[in-house]
Chains A and B, each alone.
Chain A
């Protein structure tokens, strides 16, 4: 919004006076949107109160068929664990003695930090870095891995890192943090950058380096439910835990930690728990997106992953510079289609472009039933739309 206001003159919109960003107002708007969603959930639960008893409390297993909620015990035939995950506390020297933000608290600030250092170059780090930089904070983003957004196509994530730098952020990759210190409200983050220990001084620090399951107070052992590293519940392909009458869904099982995976898991686990249907999850086609600008969105295998898996592939790469992107004033980005060389089946699709999160679903639906690249390459797309970029990438992969 702020960026658009500053660029308004390019579009012939003249603004007299200064354009300012008001954080408390933005936070109130966010809270109102979230509040509306929460109220909708309570209304839906209220309509089902005959069938669903909503209980306020923290569950702790006391045995295989009972939990303690703090003020009473509840017995159950079967259970579904859906307690989610939270930010990990990485083993960084001094972290325990420093005040730092998490993805939760960083959305509850009442004043903009002047200088913010973000530890972690994954999706949370990237999204918060760009958001606060656009609000007006000086942001430094420190990623431990060679590329931002590890696991995504590195050509695209490197390009995104360049865009973040062009917007004024300091971005370092291959930059593990070795220690943090606090003196008053001032914090110093020391990272190894190009082999040299380098200090980054800031007044706010966000730690977004890994996730852990929210199972530490759940008493999994009392219920005979096994968990692995970082407190994630171990499940089979039917989302069943080591205890046959207990299932786990969403982030708490680790792996693909997306809301849309949790939403997919929920009904499937319920079918298995209530009806014993023995359904198994199919995670072959799980789309993902980093809500940066431009958006980095992807589904399926990257070029590197497809080659490692032994596929002979064709890759179609195009720039995101098209008619519509020129019109909206953002031509940054690149799209990449990865297809099987012999029959053109789509193995992966990677989009760094405005609205890449929405654009991706053409490839998602095609991949769902093993569709070939011609579905996208040969079908007529509306002109002028960003979807023409998806078609161009598909044509380049034929």
Chain B
């Protein structure tokens, strides 16, 4: 199966951001989606 992305991270808060960066460091094709403002509450 071919997907648009290896990994989708849903919301760019204080958990999603390091998750997305780590996944990118590991060579994954990553999408990070955010509905509001980055950084979380």
Contacts and interface: CB of A to CB of B under 8 A. Distances in A.
Please indicate whether A and B come from the same complex rather than being unrelated chains.
yes
Interface of A: 34, 37-38, 41-42, 44-45, 48, 51-59, 65, 67, 69, 74-84, 86, 103-104, 214, 218, 249-251, 259, 262-263, 265-267, 269-271, 273-275
A250 B17 CA distance: 11
10 contacts: A55-B34, A58-B33, A67-B8, A76-B5, A80-B8, A80-B9, A251-B15, A262-B13, A265-B19, A269-B19
Given A38-B39, A78-B6, A79-B7, A270 B22 contact: yes
Given A52-B24, A269-B19, A83 B3 contact: no
- Interface residues of A: mostly helix, strand, loop or mixed? mixed
Contacts of B3: 65, 75-77
A78 B29 contact: no
A270 B7 contact: yes
A34 to B, nearest CB: 7
Contact of B38 (A41, A78, A80, A263): A41
B23 A274 contact: yes
Q: Across the A-B interface, give the 4 residue pairs with the lowest CB-CB distance, nearest first.
A: A262-B15, A250-B15, A82-B16, A266-B19
B29 to A, nearest CB: 7
Contact of A274 (B13, B27, B31, B37): B27
A85 to B, nearest CB: 9
A45 to B, nearest CB: 7
Given A52-B20, A104-B41, A267-B22, A82 B15 contact: yes
A83 B11 contact: yes
A273 B4 contact: no
B15 A249 contact: yes
A74 B41 contact: no
A271 B26 contact: yes
A99 B33 CA distance: 31
Given A78-B6, A273-B23, A67 B40 contact: no
B7 A77 contact: yes
A76 B34 contact: no
A270 B23 contact: yes
A229 to B, nearest CB: 21
A55 B33 contact: yes
The winner among B16, B21, B26, B38 for most chain A CB atoms within 10 A is: B16
Contact of B11 (A38, A42, A51, A82): A82
Chain A CB within 10 Å — which of B8, B30, B37 has the most? B8
B13 to A, nearest CB: 5
Contacts of B26: 270-271, 274-275
B7 A51 contact: no
Nearest to A87: B41
Given A41-B17, A270-B26, A67 B9 contact: no
